[in-house]
Amino acid sequence: MLDSYDSIEFDTIEYLATSGGLGSPDSDARITYYGNNGMPHILFNGGSMLVGAGTDVVDGTVYNPIVQSMLDDATPLKLSISSFSFDALSGHVTVDLELEGDLDNISSTKLRVAVLEDDLISGGTHYHNVLRDMLPDQTITISSSGETQQITIPFTPDNSWVVEKMRLLAFVQDDSSKEVLQSCNTRPTPDYSSRYYVLGDRIMIDSGEVVFGESALFNTGTMTDTYDVSLETDSLPAGWGASFSYEGADQTNLTLTMDPDERALFNVTIDAATAAEGEVVLVFHSQSGQAADRRITFKVISPEVNILLVDDDGGQDYESLYFMPALDDVGKSYATWDRASTGLSSAVLENFDVVVWQCGWAFPTVDAADRAALSTYLDGGGNLFITGQDIGWEMDDEGGAAAAWYTNYLHADFVGDDSGMLTLDGVAGDAISDGLSLAISGGDGANNQDYPSDIDPADASGSVILTYDASRNGAIKVDTGVYKVVYLAFGYEGINNAADRSALMQGIIGWLSPVAAAAGDNIPTKTMLVGNVPNPFNPMTEIKFNVGINSRVKLGVYDVKGHLVRHLDQGMLVAGEHSAVWNGLDNSGRTLPSGTYFCRVEGAGSSESVKMMLVR
């Protein structure tokens, strides 16, 4: 990994247990601090833990997407080491802190300095970045923007340390979350180096002209450098546009010369003209040729999209290789969300009829924040398809709130981590799986199914849809009357051919969000708008619409440019006639001007719009 990043951009510590011969009591203490209950573990930024690193750590390439997603996170803290010595009589390190923004949770935030050594040999293996000593924690006394603090820590070097192989790594850590806010080290500063950040969300659900938060590029090298700044727009749908602003002017390409410590600021804008998803990439290229390109991805998802595919597989490409081709066959619009890049909230999820959450073989996945967002989404009538071979094992192992969520929302009983089976059969008469026989190894699948789990329904709302054999089950569906869930205790990506992946996906999405309704004497056959009364209106109008089947309905008001100005989301509604009142205000409570507006209703796979005239 260090070959991909310069000496001040990325750093690492190896905490080796004393039982292995190269560890130290301080390493043992740090392992306990992070709650590691097995070896090996990898932690990124202090709070994102991956269990069972194994041979993947040899070159680290599988983890590159995770590192990339964290490089542009903004921090309020500048950190530098201004003086240090490994002299036996005057060993010390002096760390300078400066706040560019307010520092939250100061009572739980500490400065820590690790003493590291490279090129240690044990059992014929070379180890680098090995913790030899952790200096005493230091209290941070500054909390407001503009404040500075200098901390000097004396220490006594050990006689066994090889000074030429030693370095110091200082980092500020919030103990409440274990997040590392900033770090620096005693490696020489490169001649050419850059850092960057982005403020705000990098994925937004919106339409029309969408402006993202501030992006910044820093020249952190010792030399003046010239940068080519460009915007890649190849992934935008037809009719969409994009640009970035610099010093008040819109650009798509720009060349900047920057002195050391100089900063340049940008804002990316995407014009989302149709119902789709689109993304652009802001690229920083150093003309020196000695610094790697850095890339920031921005995405807009229009509110009309039906399905959200959550990519939570730890940097694999399963979403594009296996899930997206099958979703193309479903016939509904969908968008993707990189969970490693941006967290999810219930406010995001509630925009979609169905959420497809694919975990691959990564863990941890579906963490406490994810579970809270999914709980709210499901309680509001959402529909979830979730798949992964270690979801049950992980939540059962974590216990507590995780295990309770597994039972209460997935309505599953975790029976065993490994069924030992790689074929499954559908259940006769089941709406999803009748007639299906699946193999989850070989073919063009991911071939990653080492631990397909055995599960049972936890209560009467769940039923088995795929079995390994007469006594072991691999998937269930759940209908609580409020929300629906389909849970595969194996990885969907393991299915060994595209035809079966497509058939299963169509069955799942069709059951979660059916497109047709059973006719009834007084029940509409589809979700549709009747109209609004009065029209024209001032200041209020009643919008009448029909719901074809019990389903989650989205109702919104849009201006003539297609911008969503007011949510009138009704949530889960029963089949029949309904109405909502709009008072001519936007989502912020501001009075909208006279003009033409459109009301759109979406539900049960259909959508309709009606024109409304507001006359002040």
CA distance readout (Å), 577 to 40, 510, 524, 529, 603: 58, 24, 8, 10, 13
Mean pLDDT (whole number) for 534-544: 89
User: What is 256-281 written as a DSSP string?
Assistant: EEE-TT-EEEEEEEEEE-SSSEEEEE
Which pLDDT value is given to residue 524? 57
Give per-residue pLDDT as tens, 99-116: 988 888 889 999 999 999
Kindly give, in sequence order, each residue whose CB lies less than 8 Å from that of residue 383, ignoring residues fewer than 6 positions away: 353, 354, 355, 483, 484, 485, 512, 513, 552
Task: Supply 160's token pair.
Answer: 């066994």
Q: Which residue has the tokens 């920057």?
A: 258
Which pLDDT value is given to residue 462? 97
Q: Which of 4-8, 152-156, 282-286, 476-480 has the lowest mean pLDDT?
A: 4-8
Give per-residue pLDDT as tens, 242-300: 999 999 999 999 999 999 999 999 999 999 988 789 999 999 999 998 888 889 999 99
Q: Are 201 and 296 in contact (CB under 8 A)?
A: no
CA distance readout (Å), 376 to 325, 349, 373, 411, 530: 29, 9, 5, 16, 30
Which pairing describes strands 334-338 and 307-311: parallel, antiparallel, or unpaired? Answer: parallel
Which pLDDT value is given to residue 430? 92
Banded model confidence at residue 572, pLDDT cuts 50, 70, 90: low
Which pLDDT value is given to residue 260? 94
In the predicted structure, residue 2 carries a pLDDT above the cut 60: no
What phi and psi, each to the nearest 5 degrees, are found at residue 61? -60, -30
Give per-residue pLDDT as tens, 445-497: 999 999 999 999 999 999 999 999 999 999 999 999 999 999 999 999 999 99
Which pLDDT value is given to residue 521? 45
Q: Which of 231-235, 305-309, 542-546, 567-571 has the lowest mean pLDDT?
A: 567-571
Banded model confidence at residue 518, pLDDT cuts 50, 70, 90: very low
In the predicted structure, residue 339 carries a pLDDT above the cut 90: no
What are the strands of the beta sheet with 423-426, ordered from one edge?
A: 334-338, 307-311, 354-358, 383-387, 484-488, 472-479, 462-469, 423-426, 437-439
Which pLDDT value is given to residue 548? 78
The C-alpha atoms of residue 582 and residue 538 are separated, in whole angstroms, by: 10
Which pLDDT value is given to residue 123? 79
Which pLDDT value is given to residue 61? 63
SS3 per-residue string spanning 308-322: EEEECCCCCCHHHHH
Banded model confidence at residue 48, pLDDT cuts 50, 70, 90: low
Average pLDDT taken over every residue of the chain: 88
In the predicted structure, residue 598 carries a pLDDT above the cut 90: no
Beta strand segments in 447-524, E? 454-457, 462-469, 472-479, 484-488
Mean pLDDT (whole number) for 205-215: 92
Q: Element (H or E) spanning 284, and its range?
A: strand 277-286
ω into residue 190 within 30 of 0, thus cis?
no
Helix 400-409 × helix 368-379 angle, to 10° = 30
Which pLDDT value is given to residue 492? 98
ω into residue 188 within 30 of 0, thus cis?
no
| Residues paired with residue 592 on neighbouring β-strands, in sequence order | none
Nearest CA-CA partner of 410 in 369, 366, 449: 366
Banded model confidence at residue 26, pLDDT cuts 50, 70, 90: very high
Mean pLDDT (whole number) for 224-242: 95
Banded model confidence at residue 353, pLDDT cuts 50, 70, 90: very high
Which pLDDT value is given to residue 320? 95
The C-alpha atoms of residue 20 and residue 40 are separated, in whole angstroms, by: 12
Per cent of the chain over pLDDT 90 is 58
CB-neighbour burial class of residue 384 (10 A; exposed 0-12, middle 13-18, buried 19+): buried
The C-alpha atoms of residue 312 and residue 339 are separated, in whole angstroms, by: 5
In the predicted structure, residue 517 carries a pLDDT above the cut 50: no
Banded model confidence at residue 516, pLDDT cuts 50, 70, 90: very low
> What 3-state DSSP class applies to 378?
helix
Mean pLDDT (whole number) for 302-329: 92
Which pLDDT value is given to residue 60? 63
Banded model confidence at residue 498, pLDDT cuts 50, 70, 90: very high
Mean pLDDT (whole number) for 170-176: 94
Burial 569-583 (b: 16+ CB within 10 A, else e): ebebbebeebebebe
pTM greater than the 0.75 cutoff: no
Domains of the chain and CATH, by start: 18-185 (2.60.40.10), 194-301 (2.60.40.10), 307-512 (3.40.50.880), 528-614 (2.60.40.4070)
